[in-house]
Amino acid sequence: MVIKKYSLLIIATLLLVTVSSLFARGVYQTDEDFISEAFFKKPPENSRIMLGGDVRKRVAALLGHPYGGLIIKYWEKEGRTAWILKEIGKTEPITFGIIIKNSKIEKIKVLEFRESRGWEVKYPAFTKQYNGVRLEGDKLDKNIDGVSGATLSLWAMNGVSRVALYLSQHLSNKPK
């Protein structure tokens, strides 16, 4: 009888863990909806930045490895830039949407999550820590508190935050 109860408890626990990881994966917001929301339903046309030379080297330094592509799309309007960037969590890419204004993060969101763990970084209670964060050298100017079990997702979010802040600064420093 006792063994049967423990067996049921173990099965229930495994089922709960499996089901919760399945709910973690998915598209929380499409890229198009994020850009529409970022620009109050009047998004500008997208632009592209080529990752070459010094820009590519700096992005690699900010991430700790080369970025996966050569071109990054962004949207810019009225002093704000919006970026959609992907970074590997543990083994799968996580898609983030980041809005930069006045060289600070205005908002960051997890748009798509493909991992089985670490999805807690999607919650506004976590992402609001990034509001107002700037880039100082190669680091964020504020320490971001982690979430147990989401360390690699946190590192991915910190990495794309640094990249978006740098690329936004790079655009504003380019001669017009």
> What is the residue extent of each domain of the chain?
27-173
pLDDT tens for 97-111 read 999 999 999 999 999
| Percent of the chain residues past pLDDT 70, beyond the cut | 85
Q: Whole-angstrom Cα distance, residue 56 to residue 71?
A: 10
Least confident of 9-18, 89-98, 126-135, 145-154: 9-18
Look up residue 145 and give its DSSP letter: P
Non-local CB neighbours of 156 within 8 Å, separated by 6+ positions: 87, 88, 89, 94, 96
pTM: 0.84
Better-scored residue on pLDDT, 24 or 158: 158
- Other CB atoms closer than 10 Å to residue 63's CB: what's the count? 20
Least confident of 9-18, 50-59, 71-80, 101-110: 9-18
Strands of the sheet with 71-77, listed across from one edge:
26-27, 104-113, 93-101, 80-88, 71-77, 46-50
Q: Whole-angstrom Cα distance, residue 114 to residue 26?
A: 6
pLDDT tens for 156-175 read 999 999 999 999 999 987 76
